Amino acid sequence: MIRFVLRRVLAAIPIGLVVTLGVYALVFAMPGDPLRELAGDKPIPAAVLAAKRAQFHLDDPFIVQYLLSMKDILTGHFGTTFAGADIADQLRLRIPVTLKLTLLANAFQWTLGLFFGIYAGFKRNGWVDRSLLLTTLVLLAVPGLVAYFAAQYLFGVELKWFPVSGVLEGFPRSYLLPALVIGVLGFAGLARLLRTSIVETVNADFVKTARAKGLGEQRVLWRHILPNALLPVITFIGLDLAGMFGGAIITESIFNLPGLGQFMFQAIKLKEGGVVVLLSTLAFISFIVINLLVDVLYGVVDPRVRNV
């Protein structure tokens, strides 16, 4: 097990280098000058501009800039943004915001997905199953952006059930609406996957064996069908969690939540390569960790893939 984890972590290092280099190159390749962008319409004195350019190494070749950024990230000296904010402080403030949003959204998504998936799978062709099929079809077809704005307008502006944006009302009130929208949009895929997986497992030979053993229906469902039906779902968790950060960029910007996603959005707009790479690295590390956990979990649930 330790060997497996070590191997995965070691394999992540070269991938991490390629990812950060690629991201940095993309930011570098974007048109426009970051400092002029920051200043807006105001003219900047040449001396200030030169000093700033030197501070952020903007005149150095691409590869030097990249290496300097990586050095900062690896040594923990994150420095300041172009605007002068301390990046370490920013992370301290913003990581909890994103974590709260993601965890709450996942809680909604998993509760709904597991509940409806299991129910529809066990009572297939019942009315819950049929309406789930229709609902999920509709949900999967709605683009996220449309749903976020629609929900914000309907439940925030018109009905005033939730705050429209910002985190002034704290956790969980300020996070409820965005998390609900993410959760409801996301549960559809999960529920359908689980439902299909259960329906397939129900016809497996070992289920017949379990019935021939004289086991009660509940025991057959929970001890024999479900553990097997959950296997593809675990793979889905990994993929889904990986996509969460990408989703946070949009959600946090729309609902004005000061999290990492919003930070990323601002950094990309300002061409702040260092910040973008730092955040990408964070996302990458969490991606590796989550996938490692999922793989370990998979091994726990399915003995056939243990010790691979």
Partner 1 sequence: MTAHKSGHKTGEVLLKVEDLTVEFDTPRGPVRAVDGVSWQVRAGETLAILGESGSGKSVSTQALTGILEMPPGRILKGTAEYRGADLIQMTTKERRRIVGDRITMVFQDSLSALNPVQSVGTQIAECYRVHRGMSKRDALKKAAEMLDQVRIPAAAKRVNDYPHEFSGGMRQRVMLAMALALDPDVLIADEPTTALDVTVQAQILELIAELQAERQMGVVLITHDLGVVSDVADNVVVMYAGHVVERAATAEALEYPVHPYTEGLLGSMPSADLKGQELPTIPGTPPSLLAIPSGCAFRPRCPIAIDDCAAEVPPLLTVGPGRDAACIRRTSIAAKEAV
- Footprint on this chain of partner 1 (rule: CB under 8 A): 203-206, 208-216, 219, 223-224, 227-228, 231, 301-304
Q: In whole angstroms, what is the distance from residue 290 CA to residue 244 CA?
A: 11
Query: Nearest approach, Cβ of 231 to partner 1 (angstroms)?
Result: 8
- Nearest-angstrom CA–CA distance, 164 and 154: 10
CB nearer to partner 1: give 38 or 221: 221
Shortest distance (Å) from residue 242 CB to partner 1: 25
CB of 301 to partner 1, least distance (A): 6
Beta carbon of residue 203, minimum distance to partner 1 (angstroms, whole number): 8
Backbone angles phi, psi at 161, to 5 degrees: -75, -35
Q: By C-beta, is 44 or 231 nearer to partner 1?
A: 231
Q: Which is nearer to partner 1, 39 or 215 (CB)?
A: 215
Minimum CB distance to partner 1 smaller for 59 or for 217: 217
- Cβ 121 to partner 1, closest distance in Å? 15
Please state the closest distance from residue 227 (CB atom) to partner 1, in A: 5
User: Between residues 166 and 216, which has the closer beta carbon with respect to partner 1?
Assistant: 216
Which of 269/306 has CB closer to partner 1? 306
Minimum distance of partner 1 from residue 234's CB (angstroms): 12
Which C-beta is closer to partner 1: that of 75 or that of 307? 307
